Amino acid sequence: MKSLFAPFGVALTLVGVVAPIEGVPPPRTVQLALTVGVDITVPASVNLGTGFVGGVLTGQLGTVEVRDRRGQVNPNTWVATVSASVFVTGAGGPQRTIANGQVSYWSGPAVRSTGGGTLVPGQLTAAQAVQLNVTRQAFRKTAGNGNNTVSWRPTIRIAIPSGIVAGTYTGTITHSVA
């Protein structure tokens, strides 16, 4: 699982100062760094299987999870986004590329959540699928505070163009949260 961290952080420095006592070493400074924020984890890789030229290939990407550990920051809302690269085989080129506009995405519902808040899927059903030729909203938290998590299992659908060559096509689906 890969993780992207949102730009939230807290650094905590603890400093102890005492009067020197004969035979006792001088005081030491102790530093402790804490990471507090929002992060997202996604599957490292997915094999969608085999499709046919001119057909459609549909499959789930696995579980995506956002963890918000900002506690009582008010409000602690966030937005998870998704985008796609083109899919290519071999050296690419016109007959070896599937454009990212041929890739559709829907988040589906939350499959697990903790901590409350108002959680909103980007696209609840296949009828609401969006093309990934631009960055799209995958999921969001619109209200609430306190630590929370949400997981969903998005689905992608790839419309395989006619006229491309057979091969193993590879592309990247990127999720991020802020």
Q: Tell me: the pLDDT tens digits for 81-127?
A: 999 999 999 999 999 999 999 999 999 999 999 988 899 999 999 99
How many domains is the chain partitioned into structurally? 1
* Cβ pair 77, 158 in contact under 8 A: no
Give me the phi and psi of 136, to 5 degrees please: -125, 160
pLDDT digits (tens, 9 = 90+) for 151-175: 999 999 999 999 999 999 999 999 9
- Within-domain flag for 21: no
Amino acid, single-letter form, for residue 143: A
Residue 13 has pLDDT above 60, yes or no: no
- Within-domain flag for 61: yes
pLDDT digits (tens, 9 = 90+) for 126-136: 999 999 999 99
Percent of the chain with pLDDT over 90: 70
For 77, the domain range is: 39-177
- Within-domain flag for 28: no
> What is the pTM (predicted TM-score) of this model?
0.79
The CA distance from 75 to 38, in Å, is: 13
Residue in this structure with the two tokens 């961290």, named with its chain if needed: 5
- Within-domain flag for 53: yes
What confidence score (pLDDT) does residue 21 get?
53
- Within-domain flag for 5: no
- Within-domain flag for 33: no
- Within-domain flag for 18: no
- What is the H or E stretch that residue 143 is in? strand 136-143
- Within-domain flag for 13: no
Tokens at residue 60, please?
């789930």
